[in-house]
Amino acid sequence: MKKLTELCLYDAREGLLNKDFTSKELVLDHIAVMESSRSLNAFITETPEIAIKSAENSDSRLNKGTNRDLEGIPIGVKDMFCTKGVLTTASSKMLSNFIPPYESTVTNNLWNEGAILLGKLNNDEFAMGSSNETSFYGPVINPWKGNNNEQNLVPGGSSGGSSASVAANISLGALGTDTGGSIRQPASFTGTVGLKPTYGRCSRWGIIAFASSLDQAGPITRNVRDNAILLKNMCSHDPKDTTSSSKKIPNFEESIGNSVKGLKVGIPNEFFQEGMSNEIIDIWDKGKEWLKKSGAEIIDISLPNTKYALPCYYIIAPAEASSNLARYDGVRFGHSVNSSDINEMYRATRSEGFGDEVKRRIMIGTYVLSSGYYDAYYLKAQKVRSLITEDYNKVFNSVDVILTPSTPNSAFGLNEKSDDPLSMYLNDIFTVPVNLAGLPAISVPAGLDSNGLPLGLQLIGKPFEEETIYSFAKVIEDSANFKNIENQWWVQ
């Protein structure tokens, strides 16, 4: 029999229903792996007591037949989600002592369906980063390594703990948040499946805000079906979030295996980057071939404003962040530095509490909103954003889904880009436009590069058509026949 941690979420659920094992057994195995995998630094807070207690409760429900959709399934939660009574840090010194007296809507939905919290996952500080290196709790290490190379690689970011924990079989699935690619890029770097739902699909209530108009919660899993199962249980219409959709929530799992025959796939020529590696182009071509073989029609499309998406994002996201992070003032929660002068207290608290990347974004955001610059930067960016959205609206009149690479490269080395913010930002070049337009998109592992590192393909869908994305993603998954990492070098 397979080790229980090698099961995917779907199989684990089947196993529990068939009484092949108990939830407690499943959870204990995961706790053991969590503990033996600490060298990856994927978790900030481990919650074994909560997990075991919940598992016992799940087992009793499974026995009584009152089990719910995710009964007894252990998952990890990015430390951006507020969890009642459990330390929630946003991977920042600023919140290194914050224990929320409330539970985020998304996690609450999952607990209500029987899912079990294994622990809180590391991420870039306040979700600002693409490598998980900005965390106050130190970087997360990618379970993947290059061929014949001992160098530690980043797991991507900001949901680096989420992607690493799923790739390393520590959790059956994990929650991430995606503001500019923070689910899809780490999924691509770790050979996992990561979906950013349509803006409004998941409630943002109780998720520590980075950039409100872009943030969206989503699942990271080892396969497409698991992803659909997790997403269904995350979504709800939340009256506490003005931007939460009241649209009906489909049973996403049912779209897995649906034929894509006759559907149209757009290939945006603007995504061909100068200097783009052949390996990325190859994997993209493969993706087209697979979809074509499955009966989908490949169509060249144009998204003319694509090149402006990244600069546009790096105005809007920091602007919103600069305001969202103003509440960290040392008065009501979090890190605080005493002073006899209120302004001195603010400055000392925030200078000590925030790391460099967060400070950088607050500074950029403050700058682009400040008097004299607002029109040239912030307002301009929101207008360009309209053009970008318009590009997608137009294209979606003629295609059902758009296929692109997820990232311009595979996982890079630790500290390789951390001194150069701009080159780090360029990592999000393919993922960012999707957030600006509020669209759903997934990254599915499609193969390995010559260095033996995973590469993902991105599928972008129409608003609230995650089902179509899942149907296509399943085709890629089946065609790519991607194998998860086998050498568990990190286990101690």
Partner 1 sequence: MNNLLRGNTGDWEIVIGIEVHAQIISNSKLFSGSSTSFGADHNTQVSFVDAGMPGMLPVINSVCVEQAIKTGLGLNAKINNFSIFDRKNYFYPDLPQGYQISQFEQPIVGNGMITIDLDDGESKNIGIERLHLEQDAGKSLHDQHPSYSFVDLNRSGVALMEIVSMPDMRSPEEAQAYVKKLRNIMKYLQTCDGNMEEGSLRADINVSVRKPGDDLGTRCEIKNVNSIKFIGQAIDYEAKRQINLIEKGDLIEQQTRLFDPKKGQTRSMRSKEDSHDYRYFPDPDLLPLTFTNEFVDEIKKTLPELPDIRKKRFIDDYDLSSYDSNILVSEKETADYFEAAAENSNPKLVCNWVIGELFSVLNKINKTIEDCPIKAEDLGELINLIDNETITGRIAKDVFEIMLNTGESPVSIVDANNMKQVNDLNEIESVIDKIIEKNPDQVNALSEKPNLIGWFVGQVMKETQGKANPKTVNEILGKKLLKKG
Partner 2 sequence: MSVDKDNVVKIAKLSKISFKDDEIEKFQEDLNQIIDWVDQLSEVNTETVSPTFSSFDNDKGMKKREDIINDGNYREDITVNAPNSEEGFFLVPKVID
List CB contacts of 444: < 8 A, sequence separation 6 or more.
193, 224, 456, 457, 459, 473, 476, 477, 480
The interface partner of residue 323, options being partner 1, partner 2, none and the CB cut-off 5 to 8 Å by kind, is partner 1
Is 243 a binding residue for partner 1 by CB under 8 A? The answer is yes
* Contacts to partner 2 from residues 390-449, by CB under 8 A: 421-422, 425, 435-438
| 406 noted as active-site residue | no
Q: How far apart are CA 246 and CA 262, in angstroms?
A: 30
Tell me which H or E stretch contains 15.
Answer: helix 9-17
Q: How far is the CB of 93 from partner 1 (least distance, A)?
A: 14
Nearer to partner 2, 132 or 198 (CB): 198
Query: Which one from 37, 92, 135, 158 is the annotated catalytic residue?
Result: 158
Is 323 a binding residue for partner 1 by CB under 8 A? The answer is yes
State the CB neighbour count (10 A cutoff) for residue 93: 18
Query: Which one from 24, 78, 145, 474 is the annotated catalytic residue?
Result: 78
Helix (H, G, I), strand (E, B) or coil at 304: coil
Q: Which of 144, 346, 412, 490 contacts partner 2 by CB under 8 A?
A: 346
Backbone φ and ψ for 260, nearest 5 degrees, come out as -105, 10
Q: How far is the CB of 212 from partner 1 (least distance, A)?
A: 4
- Residue 120, CA distances (Å) to 79, 91, 208, 367, 481 in order: 5, 10, 13, 33, 30
- Going by C-alpha positions, the residue among 84, 43, 92 that lies closest to residue 334 is 92
Angle between helices 356-369 and 309-324 (to 10 degrees): 100
- Going by C-alpha positions, the residue among 184, 128, 168 that lies closest to residue 41 is 168
- Going by C-alpha positions, the residue among 212, 213, 177, 211 that lies closest to residue 197 is 177
Nearer to partner 1, 31 or 362 (CB): 362
- Going by C-alpha positions, the residue among 441, 460, 424 that lies closest to residue 310 is 424
Tell me which H or E stretch contains 392.
Answer: helix 380-395
List CB contacts of 414: < 8 A, sequence separation 6 or more.
131, 133, 139, 141, 151, 152, 153, 154
Is 241 a binding residue for partner 1 by CB under 8 A? The answer is yes
Nearer to partner 2, 127 or 214 (CB): 214
Q: DSSP for 318-332, please give it.
A: HHHHHHHGGG-SSSS
List CB contacts of 278: < 8 A, sequence separation 6 or more.
none
Q: How far is the CB of 211 from partner 2 (least distance, A)?
A: 11
Is 333 a binding residue for partner 2 by CB under 8 A? The answer is yes
Q: Which of 326, 351, 393, 415 contacts partner 1 by CB under 8 A?
A: 326
- The alpha-helical segments, DSSP class H, found in 37-104 are 48-64
Q: From residue 157 to residue 186, what is the string marking binding to partner 2 with x (rule CB under 8 A)? A: ------------------------------
Is 363 a binding residue for partner 2 by CB under 8 A? The answer is yes
Helices H, strands E: what count in the chain?
Answer: 15, 11
Q: How far is the CB of 269 from partner 1 (least distance, A)?
A: 31
Query: Which one from 182, 236, 322, 443 is the annotated catalytic residue?
Result: 182
* Contacts to partner 1 from residues 210-229, by CB under 8 A: 211-213
| 383 noted as active-site residue | no
Tally of residues, the chain: 492
Q: Among 49-57, 65-73, 386-394, 395-403, which window interacts with partner 2 (CB under 8 A)?
A: 386-394
The interface partner of residue 199, options being partner 1, partner 2, none and the CB cut-off 5 to 8 Å by kind, is partner 2
Strands 74-78 and 454-461: unpaired
State the CB neighbour count (10 A cutoff) for residue 138: 12
Nearer to partner 2, 58 or 108 (CB): 108
Q: How far is the CB of 383 from partner 1 (least distance, A)?
A: 13
Q: How far apart are CA 381 and CA 311, in angstroms?
A: 8
Q: Which amino acid is at 261?
A: K
Q: Among 99-107, 387-395, 400-408, 467-475, which window interacts with partner 1 (CB under 8 A)?
A: 99-107
Q: How far is the CB of 259 from partner 1 (least distance, A)?
A: 37
* Contacts to partner 2 from residues 77-116, by CB under 8 A: 97-99, 101-102
Is 320 a binding residue for partner 1 by CB under 8 A? The answer is yes
Is 362 a binding residue for partner 2 by CB under 8 A? The answer is yes
| 131 noted as active-site residue | no
Nearer to partner 2, 21 or 98 (CB): 98
Is 339 a binding residue for partner 2 by CB under 8 A? The answer is yes
Q: Among 286-294, 333-341, 445-453, 479-487, which window interacts with partner 2 (CB under 8 A)?
A: 333-341
Residues acting as catalytic residues: 78, 158, 182
Residue ranges that bind partner 1, judged by CB under 8 A: 82, 88, 90, 95, 98, 100-102, 104, 204-209, 211-213, 239-243, 319-320, 322-323, 325-329, 331-333, 340, 342-343, 346, 366, 369-371, 374, 378
